């Protein structure tokens, strides 16, 4: 059975003594952008379309990049929307607002 697309909202809250958190968040967004998955950057989080199996490896890469970018601590908030018989897409949820 082919995996359905989910929507995953990711919010990273890094702390570093010598770096502004936004600089580290920007590095996390670069990982998402480079993943090839459709995504939308929002003021509080970034929403990504991928399968559930693709989600955890992406989160691991984001965590590692935040660490490499100087984060001393990192809080990550994740929300996942799944529909078991169809894909969940950003476009389907947002098209009425365009």
- pLDDT tens across 49-87, in order? 999 999 999 999 999 999 999 999 999 999 999 999 999
Upper half-sphere CA count for residue 43 (Cβ side, 13 Å): 0
Entry pTM: 0.92
Mean per-residue pLDDT, 31-50 = 97
What's the pLDDT score for residue 1? 63
Q: Distances in Å between the alpha carbon of 69 and those of 9, 30, 34, 50?
A: 21, 12, 16, 25
What's the pLDDT score for residue 55? 97
Mean pLDDT of the chain: 96
> In the chain, where does DSSP find H-type helix?
21-34, 52-68, 90-94
CATH code of 6-97, in short, is 3.30.70.930
- Are 87 and 5 in contact by the 8 Å Cβ rule? The answer is yes
């Amino acid at each position: 059975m082919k995996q359905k697309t989910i929507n995953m909202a990711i919010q990273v809250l890094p702390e570093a003594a010598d770096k502004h958190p936004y600089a580290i968040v920007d590095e996390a967004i670069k990982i998402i952008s480079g993943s090839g998955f459709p995504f939308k950057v929002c003021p509080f989080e970034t929403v990504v379309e991928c399968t559930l199996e693709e989600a955890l490896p992406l989160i691991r890469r984001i965590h590692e990049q935040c660490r490499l970018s100087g984060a001393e601590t990192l809080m990550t908030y994740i929300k996942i929307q799944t529909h078991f018989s169809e894909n969940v897409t950003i476009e389907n949820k947002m098209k009425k607002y365009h």
